[in-house]
Chain A
Amino acid sequence: DVKVTQSSRYLVKRTGEKVFLECVQDMDHENMFWYRQDPGLGLRLIYFSYDVKMKEKGDIPEGYSVSREKKERFSLILESASTNQTSMYLCASSQRRALYNSPLHFGNGTRLTVT
């Protein structure tokens, strides 16, 4: 089974702090994703990476950056956390080949609260 592991289940940070969310997958997948999920807004894509050191902006990249130094690891960085970044953050991975025929597999999420 594909396993996508997010380092923290719950996180509380203060406004202005730099926050790192880590994600690791064990299936040698090329693609990795960061989404956030908010009530009434569904899942929104923040960033996507299709290879090591490669990244693409999703629908809501403002206030976030990402890092992919190793194939299995994809980090989401909040440079200066703000209260409107309080959310559930979900990491996912998929195989690159035939993108639209390759399911995304999600981790269990990190619930981040910024106070």
Chain B
Amino acid sequence: DAKTTQPPSMDCAEGRAANLPCNHSTISGNEYVYWYRQIHSQGPQYIIHGLKNNETNEMASLIITEDRKSSTLILPHATLRDTAVYYCIVRVSNDYKLSFGAGTTVTVRA
């Protein structure tokens, strides 16, 4: 499995963009990058995923570098409700598993 490295924590000001980095230098060509978040006492929530191209949905944008060795999740206008643990996951091809690491604890401050 390709491993991911995320900072353990980060703060963000309410209303500003939050940029969450993730390194996955051993990623293989057919492995997807997934992002989930988990708000305290809730189940993980799917945010976005991508293979090579940048992706955007109503929640966030995912920027993947050209060499695919790292990616950034962007929350365009962080709110207090975005305070959560964010997980960057590389999905092994043809594997049903999702392996969650420690993630980044993001705290959005007013």
A-side residues, CB < 8 A to B, are: 4, 31, 33, 42-43, 45, 48, 50, 58, 90, 92, 94, 99-101, 103-109
Contacts and interface: CB of A to CB of B under 8 A. Distances in A.
Given A105-B46, A106-B45, A107-B43, A100 B100 contact: no
Contact of B95 (A33, A100, A108, A109): A100
B64 to A, nearest CB: 15
Which secondary structure dominates chain B's binding surface? loop
A109 B100 contact: no
A42 to B, nearest CB: 5
A94 B32 CA distance: 15
Which secondary structure dominates chain A's binding surface? strand
Interface residues of B, number: 24
Interface of B: 30-32, 34, 41-46, 49, 51, 91-102
